[in-house]
Amino acid sequence: MPALSRRSALILGGVGIAATAVGGTGFFVNQRLSSGTSPTTPSGSDLIEPAEIRSVSGALAVDLESSPQQVTIAGRDVRALSYNGGVPGPTLRVRAGDTLSVSLRNGLADPSNLHVHGLHVSPENNGDNMFVTVAAGDSFDYQYELPVNHPPGVYWYHPHHHGFVADQVFGGLYGAIIVEDPDPIPASRERVLVISDITLDSTGTIPSGTSMEKMSGREGDLVLVNGQLTPSMTARPGERERWRIVNACVSRYLRLRLDGQQLSLLGIDSGRFEAAQEVNEVVLAPGNRADLLVTGTAGTSVLRAHTYDRGRSGGMMMGRESFTAADVIALASFIVAGDDVATVAAIPGQPVPRDLRTATVTARRELIFAMGMGGNMSGDMNGGMGGGMMSATINGQVFDATRVDTTVQFDSVEEWLLTNTSPLDHPVHLHVWPMQIIEQSGQPVKNIMWQDVVNIPARSTVRVRIAFDDFSGRTVYHCHILDHEDSGMMGVVTAN
């Protein structure tokens, strides 16, 4: 077995749990289903949701500590990273107009910080400031002022210190944020489903990613729902549940299906549709979230992640490794039984989303996402994760925290052409300001689609429009395959 890197050992506190407690094969029972076999229902304990903390009288104050902990993952006691002793961390529930205050204590051996992914808040000072460094053992007090018209939806938080992001998220540092609807949407119950993946070796330790894994973006051997392996959920026929789904995986795309049940999609990321859309599946790139209504039909269904082709690494390194998953992965079972319930009230219509297709565009830009060999891979704030092998660039440059790559006019609308020249998909995330997708591979998008993570398929383009309003300041855009971000595929944007 390859030696663990210093970073991995320190992240986990240098402590492994006995191999007898976490034998490798025990984790895989009933989760991976060959695409050529008859699926079976996975067995697992009841779904456990993260602890919730709700705002009161317009404010939510949270103490959040990141540290190595002995936690339960996939039903086993292992050593991982944790916010407040849980994987995921607590779910934070707020409303538009609230003030969210987070006191972050970094109990890790490495620097860290905090990103409130998708929230439309200030990027400056103690807001969603990506240039804050919280050294090991130090604390920092964040304060986020949500606008009174902040979109409701599913958001999340995770570390964002360049060079350490993938390791810290892969290690277990993530949690959900819910911005409540001003007018409730009728549902029998609500569930938060944070989907992540992780790899554990025979000692219960999270191993360091290899150079090839980092080039492609690592995918864990275990795919978890709220830190559990194939948990079960129960409902009665006719009940409508609301599932808040977060893709907290470092690199894995989730093509989710729940065959046999009625699915209505309210929106992706902060984008809410005018009317719920009936769907058979939902595809979430890393960092995407879904707000999904599930109406129960008698029987047992399995929430599965089906195959998704995100390209291949051939041409960047020796070999032709493909990243099309060979297996269907069973994530959870959904058991619907008992007496039918009364018909649930109709899903209310939502406000018509803002449409920038008729807006005046002040500037047009192209961002080119490319991968290859070489480049500055120094492993610090200005370089990447080290090794001198992979170059992950935007417009030919790796990330430099001291350089401003894009300067935009505050309170303007810009159109960006996102071009992917590499053989792998890149999910592009812009902080603070969401993006309206107006064109994919040269074809106009008919519907109004707002997302803060926009997937750019291999060797293709997507055109978006962005309203740089409400907040000025400096932040970043990057690939949300977090190994690519750490290796330099990130740029700095300033609105002034």
pLDDT band, very low/low/confident/very high, at 314 (cuts 50, 70, 90): low
Q: What would the pLDDT profile of 426-466 be if each residue is shown by its tens digit?
A: 999 999 999 999 999 999 999 999 999 999 999 999 999 99
pLDDT of 215 strictly over 80: yes
State which amino acid sits at residue 408.
Answer: V
In whole angstroms, give the CA distance from residue 50 to residue 69.
Answer: 16
Each residue of 320-377: pLDDT tens digit? 455 554 589 999 999 999 999 988 888 988 999 999 999 999 999 999 999 986 544 3
Q: What is the mean pLDDT of residues 453-481?
A: 98
Give 313's pLDDT tier (boundaries 50, 70, 90): low
Q: How far is CA 389 from CA 5, 196, 317, 379, 481, in A?
A: 17, 27, 9, 12, 17
Q: Quick check: bond before 88 cis, omega within 30?
A: yes
* Distance separating alpha carbons of residues 106 and 112, to the nearest angstrom: 7
Position 384 pLDDT exceeds 50: no
CATH of domain 189-336: 2.60.40.420
Q: What is the pLDDT of residue 31?
A: 62
CB atoms within 10 A of CB 187: 18
Which residues contact residue 129 at a Cβ distance below 8 angstroms, ignoring those fewer than 6 apart?
113, 123, 475
Least confident of 3-12, 127-136, 290-299: 3-12
* % of the chain residues with pLDDT over 90: 77
Tokens 């991976």 map to which residue? 32
Q: How confident is the model at residue 77 (pLDDT cuts 50, 70, 90)?
A: confident
Nearest to 12 by CA among 204, 289, 255: 204
Alpha carbon dihedral 263, 264, 269, 275, in 10-degree steps, equals 170
pLDDT at residue number 19: 29
What's the pLDDT band for 211 if we cut at 50, 70, 90?
A: confident
Q: Contact at 8 Å (CB) between 337 and 390?
A: no
- Mean pLDDT score across all residues of the chain: 88
Cα gap 426→479, rounded to integer Å:
6
In this structure, of 150-164, 307-321, 388-402, 428-442, the range with the lowest mean pLDDT score is 307-321
CA nearest 45: which of 232, 234, 226, 194?
232
CATH superfamily of 6-179: Cupredoxins -  blue copper proteins (2.60.40.420)
Distance CA 99, CA 117 (A): 16
Confidence at residue 206, expressed as pLDDT on a 0 to 100 scale:
87
Neighbours of 319 (CB within 10 A): 11
Q: What is the pLDDT of residue 465?
A: 98
Closest CA to 265 of 236, 286, 289, 231: 289
Q: Quick one: pLDDT at residue 133?
A: 98
Tokens of 406: 């894009």
Give yes or no for a contact between 269 and 118, defined as CB atoms under 8 angstroms apart: yes
- Three-state SS string over 138-196 comes to CEEEEEEECCCCCCCEEEEEECCCCCCHHHHHHCCCCEEEEECCCCCCCCCEEEEEEEE
| C-alpha distance across the termini of the chain, in Å | 51
- Start and end residues for every CATH 2.60.40.420 domain found in the chain: 6-179, 189-336, 356-495
Helix, strand or coil for residue 10?
helix
Instruction: Give pLDDT, residue 43.
Output: 54
pLDDT at 410 over 80: yes
pLDDT higher for 55 or 211?
55
pLDDT > 80? residue 32: no
What's the mean pLDDT in 132-141?
98
Q: Would you say residue 406 has pLDDT above 90?
A: yes
- CA 50 distance to own-chain centroid: 16
The answer to whether 325 and 308 are in contact (CB under 8 A) is yes
pLDDT of residue 379: 37
Q: Residue 240's pLDDT is what?
A: 97
Q: Please say whether the beta carbons of 401 and 419 come within 8 A.
A: no
CA distance 107 to 109: 7
Whether the CB-CB separation of 120 and 144 falls below 8 Å is answered with no
- Cβ 10 vs Cβ 110: under 8 Å: yes
Confidence of residue 116 (pLDDT cuts 50, 70, 90): very high
356-495: CATH number:
2.60.40.420
Alpha carbon distance 189, 294 (integer Å): 10
13: phi > 0 → left, psi -120 to 50 → alpha, else beta; which? left
pLDDT at 388 over 60: no
Q: How are beta strands 281-284 and 254-257 bridged, if at all?
A: antiparallel
254 with 204: CB under 8 angstroms? no
